[in-house]
Amino acid sequence: MIGPSGVGKSTLHNRLKRVDLSSKSFLTHHEAIVASAKKQRISIRHPYIFLLNMVLNTGIYREKAFGMANRQIRFLHRFGKPLSRHDFEQYRYSFRLYYKYLASEVNAFVVHRRISNYIKKIDEHEMYKQLLPVGVPIIIDEGISHYFHTFFDQIDIRSDIEKIRTDDVFCVDGLISCEQDPDIVYLQARDRKNTGVRTFTHGHLSDSELKKLVYENVDQQMRKVQFYSDIGIPILRVNTGDDFADNLLRINIFASKISEKRTPEPVASNQL
């Protein structure tokens, strides 16, 4: 799921995870993390994580399930398999693009912050690939491509298509583009700011500066959507202001089609 700040993307994602699992053909990022953590076998050598897993499987603290599951998975991921050079090979093209983009930034703190966040996202993405269920579409609120919304139109698709297709930033199964009228997005972003929500990019801006940034973000998101469309990624465009039941139905159908494409062929019993 992608969309400019204030469009209602996270609100929609949070509502999706509260829908009964039996009525949908996808998992949200939160549900996938909890499901994976519950299935993990934890050694008593890690007593805190062992107890965390036991509590998670009892279902007592449902409202805290994602926090517990995420802590367990992150601990085991870092303990068991840190990022290797091979992992970064799958992001070589996108990382070079991002590094080139940051070369024009004069604020060293901003460069450090953005590179750190980008590497964190790569680490997170690799963790998901190793641990999350295969075959079921998983909807993630944002992702690594979030860091590329300012220069998608600078990528030469014709000459770099093979590099693009082997880079995990661009090789997604589908894209849900969350959209609304820019004026509404601005009002929602302003309300978030006035209620105390501060983000790295616009927490310090005046209202006029925020409005300008929102319009730029909306334009950048549309160019990102166009880029993914040009390289053949399925796109679902959702107006987050529409009725939730209608959006849920459209997302369900979209996820079902993706699931049909990616479900692996059955494996013979003697190959298991």
Q: Per-residue DSSP letters for 228-267?
A: HHHTT--EEEEETTS-HHHHHHHHHHHHHHHHHHHPPPPP
Q: Which of 97-106, 144-153, 166-175 has the highest mean pLDDT?
A: 166-175
In a domain, 216, yes or no: yes
- Strands 138-139 and 175-179 come out as unpaired
Q: Evaluate if pTM is beyond 0.75.
A: yes
Q: What is the pLDDT of residue 234?
A: 94
Range of the domain at 150: 9-26+136-264
Same domain, 151 and 259: yes
In a domain, 212, yes or no: yes
Quick one: average pLDDT of 104-117? 84
Number of domains in the chain: 2
Q: What is the pLDDT of residue 149?
A: 64
Same domain, 46 and 180: no
Q: Kindly state the tokens that stand for 257.
A: 């089609």
In a domain, 107, yes or no: no
Q: What is the pLDDT of residue 152?
A: 72
Instruction: Say how far apart CA 16 and CA 244 lie, in whole Å.
Output: 9
**What share of the chain has pLDDT > 90, as a percent?**
14
* Domain boundary, last residue among 63, 80, 97: 80
Instruction: Name which of 27, 28, 30, 52 is nearest 40 in CA terms.
Output: 52
Same domain, 199 and 174: yes
Q: Which amino acid is at 124?
A: E
pLDDT band at 263 (very low <50, low <70, confident <90, very high): low
